[in-house]
Structure 1
Amino acid sequence: MSMNIALSGLGAAQKDLNTTSNNIANANTFGFKESRAEFGDVYSSSIFSNAKTTTGGGVQTSTVAQQFHEGSSIYTNNPLDLRVSGSGFFAVADNKNEPANNNLTRNGAFHLNNENELVNSEGKFLLGYPVNKESNTVASYEAKSMKIDDIFGQPTKSNNIKVSLNLPNKETAPKNSPFDFNDPDSFSRSTSSTIYDSLGKPYKMTTYYVAKYDPNAVAPTPNNANTWEVHQTITNNSGEERLLKPDPSLNKNYQVTIPDPTDPTDPTKAQVVGYIMKFDQNGQPEAGQPLNIQMETFASAGIDVGGADPTQTLNMNYDDPTQYASAFEVRKFEDVDGATTGYLSKVDIDPEGNILASYSNGKDVVVGRVALARVSNEQGLAQLGGTLWNTTQESGQAIWGDASQGSFGAIKSGTLEQSNIDMTQELVDLITAQRNFQASSRALDVNNQLQQNILQIR
């Protein structure tokens, strides 16, 4: 009996040594969770035994319990290195066409494979949710493999330009008049940006601002301007700068015109060459000021588009323009539609798990959101190796959700979760297990000596 007890102690000590050794061996394994051997005593009795004098029958391993507290962070320069700060797990699948057959992991070391799909070091596909491109909301919570296109679509022509700016209220009117884009003394300010035609060719678009003083002011001077002429030009592929005029349907009170060279005395034949912006005493656009200016077609402006759509037009949409007592400032000059063919230049992932792809044409696109899963009982998960787990009946089914919602946790890009091993504690446990093994071995040796003594009795 005592020999069996000593043998069970040896087995338990060996199990403890194996568990501790496995923890120490995986101290540098990303996403690894330490295990702890838990034991229970063996005790048996019957109706014929005396409970007061019955000894235990040894020890047995109850379970090797995983400990799912978080490990520390290690910071990297790879934006595809991810960690979950919470109780969520990443989901990965062996076959991208069968995402339902997936495993859970805390190891967030991912990269792009040769088809621009997000995979881990074993080639398993990271699962995520498709995202509505307009609202950046999850379109479906059916997890799928994530792929990032290395080319951003077909080129699209510029159509809508959003502009937000401040024009200074104490700007000195230019020395020369009328406006001539070749004469720097005929305009007050200018800005440039790039637009695209239907083939994706870039053009330089220049906007000129000409300060005008109000002749109806109490003391009209050249530097109390509250009216501005705005002129736009396009520089075509041959380097020629062409004036892009507003559509003649613009309200006549806001047109900048010049006499018709063929009949300068007839005002009805005057040519529209720009538009006017007027502000009130509060620095806001005056009542009736059009803030959506339709421009003429590229063909009407004589712009050589080289086979692209000649009917292309631009809509200048002014978003809260102001005339305050501060410096000239362009707060926004955004080409909403135009883009040339773009190539993938960078991938970022935000705390909500949105995968943001940046392209060489300046476009940023959310291509998906990293899926997270959690279970009711983490210790019920089945270990598979490779820092992978499967759900079981004991753990409960996976619950799917988003990062930063509930207990799933936020996603940190450029960060990996180290193993949650406390090396100092593991070394202490190793010594303890070794001492237990030695003690059980000594008890077995004593039992052996007693049996030898009994056999030598004559």
Structure 2
Amino acid sequence: MPFTTALSGLNAASNNLAVTGNNIANANTVGFKRSRSEFADVYASSLGGVSSIQPGAGVRVANVAQQFTQGNLQFTENNLDLAISGEGFFTLAKSPTEVNDLSYTRSGEFKLDKEGYMVNNQGAALLVYAPNGAAISDGFSVGVTQPVQINTLTGLPSATDSAEIVVNVDSDATVIPAATTFDYTNSDSYNNQTSVTVYDSLGSPHILTTYFRKASANNWDVYHFISEPTTPDTKTQVDVAGGNADGSGRLTFDSGGKLISPANPFSLSSYTITPPTGAADITITSMNFAGSTQVQQKFSVNDMTQNGLPAGRLTGLDIDDEGVIFARFSNGGSQTVGKVALTRFPNVNGLTKLGDTTWGQSANSGEPIRGEAGSNNFGSIQSGALEASNVDLAAQLVNLIVAQQHYQANAQTITTENQIMQAILNI
């Protein structure tokens, strides 16, 4: 019996040394959680129970428990590196096409594979909640997870349907006689002009030129023409709905130079693209001159905007502390790609250890609880950072010394028992 007791101590000390050595080996492993050996004493029992003078039968390893305490955040220069500050795990699929084989990790070393999916070093795909629209305000379908594909994204074009031009027209400008017919090829038939690029539904650019013609002291007529960039000298007029008989609209200023009419933006007639390209007609329903003035200063354009966009390429990604992945494009547009899906468990120590710093659900862990960063007890997400191992190297080295002494003491017990046996047998 004493030999068995000492042998159990050797096994326990050996386990403690192995666990400590594993902790030390993974001191620099991102997202690693240290473990500790937990022991229980052993007693031989009978039908009468354990005797009050029973010395015990040794020790056994009750559990090797991982310690899911927070590791320090280490900042990097890669915004695809993610760290969780607080509770939760990243949700991983085995691959972008095997989305039902799930695992969980605290290691956020993500990168793009050859198809543009965000994956870890083992090729497991990061799962996100699907966006309900292009804007963050549209929300996300929490519970509907999908792999996130990045570098195939294109900034989709957006057709122009509103434009805003804020100008100052010179109060000393010459009034153009009504007898002079407007002609954009005749600079004597108007006072000033300005242009803005507008886009059709396929993202092709077109030039919208606005001509300003002084009709009387406080009244200016505005004419709108659209031309193709390839044929800028050929222009097609787009009439102002409810405007003058010649298709123009009228701007009226008060004696202080403020615009008083129209009270609402103009609506322009549709422009049919010729030759056809498959794009829809350009229809600008809001041509706004609000804020324009007429003072004794040279003609100037103080502001000019329109809401259309050409097609664009991906130029960057932003991931906020709630895990929203936000793509930026060269056309000035932006799009929400998804929201990082986090998972937590009622009993994290019941998770199955899968290796590669990942864990799997088990009967002891309880059912997974899905959620979003920053809500429902989930931690926040830090982009451009990684969670370091929570191994305290100094503490592990001290534990290594203790485990070694434990091992040597049990070995000494065997040596002592052996000497006693030799003494008995030599009598």
Q: Confirm or deny: 8 A CA contact 2:163 2:284 kept in the other structure.
A: no
Instruction: Determine whether 1:381 maps to 2:370.
Output: no
Give the alignment partner of residue 290 of structure 1, picking from 241, 251, 264: 264
CA distance in 1, matches of 2:306, 2:123: 40
CA distance in 1, matches of 2:338, 2:254: 44
Q: Which amino acid aligns with 2:263?
A: Q
CA distance in 2, matches of 1:319, 1:447: 102
Deviation at 1:194, TM superposition (A): 3.4
Q: Confirm or deny: 8 A CA contact 2:251 2:261 kept in the other structure.
A: no
Q: Confirm or deny: 8 A CA contact 1:90 1:126 kept in the other structure.
A: yes
Give the unaligned 5+ runs of structure 2: 177-181, 294-299
Tell me the residue number matched to 1:355: 325
Q: Which amino acid aligns with 1:201?
A: S
Q: Confirm or deny: 8 A CA contact 1:246 1:294 kept in the other structure.
A: no
Q: Confirm or deny: 8 A CA contact 1:246 1:275 kept in the other structure.
A: no
CA distance in 1, matches of 2:254, 2:394: 72
Q: 1:243 to 1:294 in 2, by over 3 A?
A: farther
Tell me the residue number matched to 1:200: 203
Give the alignment partner of residue 399 of structure 1, picking from 366, 369, 372: 369
Q: Give the alignment's TM-score, normalised by structure 2.
A: 0.81
Tell me the residue number matched to 2:148: 146
Instruction: Determine whether 1:18 maps to 2:18.
Output: yes
Deviation at 1:347, TM superposition (A): 2.5
CA distance in 2, matches of 1:280, 1:86: 64
Q: Confirm or deny: 8 A CA contact 1:128 1:146 kept in the other structure.
A: yes
Tell me the residue number matched to 1:249: 241
Tell me the residue number matched to 2:38: 38
Q: Confirm or deny: 8 A CA contact 2:324 2:338 kept in the other structure.
A: yes
Tell me the residue number matched to 2:297: none
CA distance in 1, matches of 2:388, 2:130: 29
Tell me the residue number matched to 1:339: 310
SS at match of 1:436: helix
Q: Which amino acid aligns with 2:160?
A: N
CA distance in 1, matches of 2:103, 2:372: 17
Deviation at 1:63, TM superposition (A): 0.6
Deviation at 1:345, TM superposition (A): 2.6
Instruction: Determine whether 1:316 maps to 2:286.
Output: yes
SS at match of 1:159: coil
Q: 1:93 to 1:48 in 2, by over 3 A?
A: closer
Deviation at 1:352, TM superposition (A): 2.3
Tell me the residue number matched to 1:236: 228
Instruction: For residues 157-207 of structure 1, give each alpha carbon's deviation from its aligned partner in whole angstroms, at most 9, with x where no partner exists.
Output: x331254x8778xx8646566699979x955x96x6532235533245566
SS at match of 1:90: strand
Q: 1:25 to 1:272 in 2, by over 3 A?
A: same
Instruction: For residues 196-237 of structure 1, give each alpha carbon's deviation from its aligned partner in whole angstroms, at most 9, with x where no partner exists.
Output: 23553324556688999986xxxxxxxxxxx88766665632
CA distance in 2, matches of 1:154, 1:241: 29
Tell me the residue number matched to 2:296: none
Aligned residue pairs total 411
CA distance in 2, matches of 1:65, 1:281: 80
Deviation at 1:75, TM superposition (A): 1.5
Tell me the residue number matched to 1:123: 123
Identity %: 35
SS at match of 1:100: strand
Q: Give the alignment's TM-score, normalised by structure 1.
A: 0.76
CA distance in 1, matches of 2:264, 2:248: 16
Q: 1:108 to 1:231 in 2, by over 3 A?
A: farther
Deviation at 1:105, TM superposition (A): 0.9
Deviation at 1:73, TM superposition (A): 1.0
SS at match of 1:437: helix
Structure with higher strand content: 2
SS at match of 2:144: coil
CA distance in 1, matches of 2:254, 2:103: 62
SS at match of 2:313: strand
Q: Confirm or deny: 8 A CA contact 1:236 1:305 kept in the other structure.
A: no
Give the unaligned 5+ runs of structure 1: 216-226, 253-268
Instruction: Determine whether 1:159 maps to 2:130.
Output: no
SS at match of 1:127: strand
Instruction: Determine whether 1:410 maps to 2:385.
Output: no
Instruction: Determine whether 1:136 maps to 2:138.
Output: yes
CA distance in 2, matches of 1:194, 1:78: 36
Q: Confirm or deny: 8 A CA contact 2:239 2:248 kept in the other structure.
A: no
CA distance in 2, matches of 1:232, 1:278: 20
Q: Which amino acid aligns with 1:194?
A: T
Deviation at 1:146, TM superposition (A): 2.2
Instruction: For residues 56-81 of structure 1, give each alpha carbon's deviation from its aligned partner in whole angstroms, at most 9, with x where no partner exists.
Output: 32221111111111111122222221
CA distance in 1, matches of 2:425, 2:255: 117
Deviation at 1:114, TM superposition (A): 1.6
Q: Which amino acid aligns with 1:335?
A: N
Give the alignment partner of residue 251 of structure 2, picking from 253, 259, 276: 276
Q: Which amino acid aligns with 1:136?
A: D
SS at match of 2:100: coil
CA distance in 1, matches of 2:209, 2:5: 91
Q: Confirm or deny: 8 A CA contact 1:166 1:329 kept in the other structure.
A: yes
